[in-house]
Amino acid sequence: MPPTPPAVIETRALTKVYPGHVTALDGLTVSVAPGVTGLVGANGAGKSTLIKILLGLLPPTKGQAKVLGHDCGSSADTIRTLLGYMPEHDCLPPDVTATEFVTHLGRMSGLPPTVAKERAAESLRHVGLHEERYRQIGTYSTGMKQRVKLAQALVGDPALLLLDEPTNGLDPAGRTAMLELIARIGAEFGISIVIASHLLGEIERICDQLVAIDAGRLLRADTITSFTQTSQVLAVEVTEGLAQLQAELAARGLAAAVHAKTLLVPLGGDGTYDVVRDCVADLALPLCRLEQRRHQVEELFRDDQDEQERVPHA
């Protein structure tokens, strides 16, 4: 990695207040490097507002945002030729074929007629739609519709893709397939990607870096490795002696937090498993669950507030 690759997205003190004093973004300052980036936050954290500002659809109340070096206010037109956007919600007309639809949107991206046709066919093939693309979209499964949404974002050959909750409404297999597809686009197509999601556990697998926002403010922005180090925990459940176990773990240097009758132990490495095992064995407690927990992003946010609870009551 070069020392400082130019940021694909840069915001400075970005604030958006909707009429009625609803603050969606509150002084957000963040810089996103090229690659696959997860934009995580609970529902209402400000992800969609941020995306709309980046697309130049909403003017910020205060602050500045830049995409690929262009200012979102003054160069919104330029930015929109460089972006591909996949909205969260359903956005496909049921009564046209995927080919017609993506071709038309290719035209709307500024592609000449024949190029639009070629690229539409190619984009649909890239997302895994083959013969189906000549069928009306209304007959598609949710997974296929998500693919069409991705294909229309891809058709204009964007430098940056903004994907808003791309796995929405998909079953587990569909989610995995969609994430693999996105990872491929990021790795092999050379397109930077920002994925907005409220499921950290899901997207962390394919992201190079994560930006976590909460209530319109930046919570943390870091590479995926430093994120997972701080966010992965071991959930330990025992049918009795929870406090005992917590004290024992504290004595051996592991600060465990109690959360809904479960002990959450920060996962340092394989050694952590051994310590927990030994503690449970030494205290002869009935262990009923021991699992590596993938954080929901809400839990990540709770960490700071729960700091006090973590102090073991000896």
Partner 1 sequence: MPDSLQAAGVIHDLGYRGYDGPRLGRSQIVRALTWHSFRSSFGIGRGAKAKIIPVLAFIAMCLPALVNAFAVARGNSRLFGYDVYSPTLRVVVVTLFIAAQAPELVSRDLRSRVLPLYFCRPLRPGDYPLAKYLALTGALLLLIEVPLLILYAGTIASASGGRAVWHETRALIPGLGIGLMWAVLMAAIGLVLASRTGRRAYATGIVAITCFLTWSLSLLLLQAEGGMTATSTGARLAGLFSPFTILDGVRMWLGGTSPGEVANPGHYGPLYGVLAVVLLAASLGGLAARYRKVSQA
Binding site for partner 1 (CB under 8 A): 52, 55, 57-58, 77, 80-81, 83, 85, 87, 89-95, 100, 104-105, 107-112, 115, 119, 122, 125-126, 128-130, 143, 152, 156-157, 171, 173-174, 176-177, 180-181, 184-185, 188-190
Burial class of 93 by CB neighbour count within 10 A (0 to 12, 13 to 18, 19+):
exposed
Q: Residue 86: beta bridge partners?
A: 163
CB of 255 to partner 1, least distance (A): 41
Q: Which is nearer to partner 1, 194 or 238 (CB)?
A: 194
CB 22 → partner 1: shortest distance, Å? 14
CB of 269 to partner 1, least distance (A): 32
**Alpha carbon separation from 314 to 15, 173, 248 (Å, rounded):** 45, 45, 9
**CB nearer to partner 1: pick between 76 and 283:** 76
Select 129 or 265, whichever has its Cβ closest to partner 1.
129
With b meaning 16 or more CB within 10 Å and e meaning fewer, what string describes 225-259? eebbeebbbbbbebeeebeebbbbbbeeebebbbe
End-to-end CA gap in the chain: 46
Q: Which is nearer to partner 1, 5 or 94 (CB)?
A: 94
| Shortest distance, position 314 Cβ to partner 1, whole Å | 51
Q: Backbone dihedral region of 165: left (phi > 0), alpha (psi from -120 to 50 degrees) or beta?
A: left
Nearer to partner 1, 82 or 275 (CB): 82
Alpha helices of 60-171 — where are they, by DSSP H? 76-82, 98-108, 113-126, 142-154
Residue 271 CB, nearest approach to partner 1 (Å)? 35
Q: Which CB atom, from 82 or from 290, has the smaller least distance to partner 1?
A: 82
65: left (phi over 0), alpha (psi -120 to 50) or beta: beta
Q: How far is the CB of 174 from partner 1 (least distance, A)?
A: 5
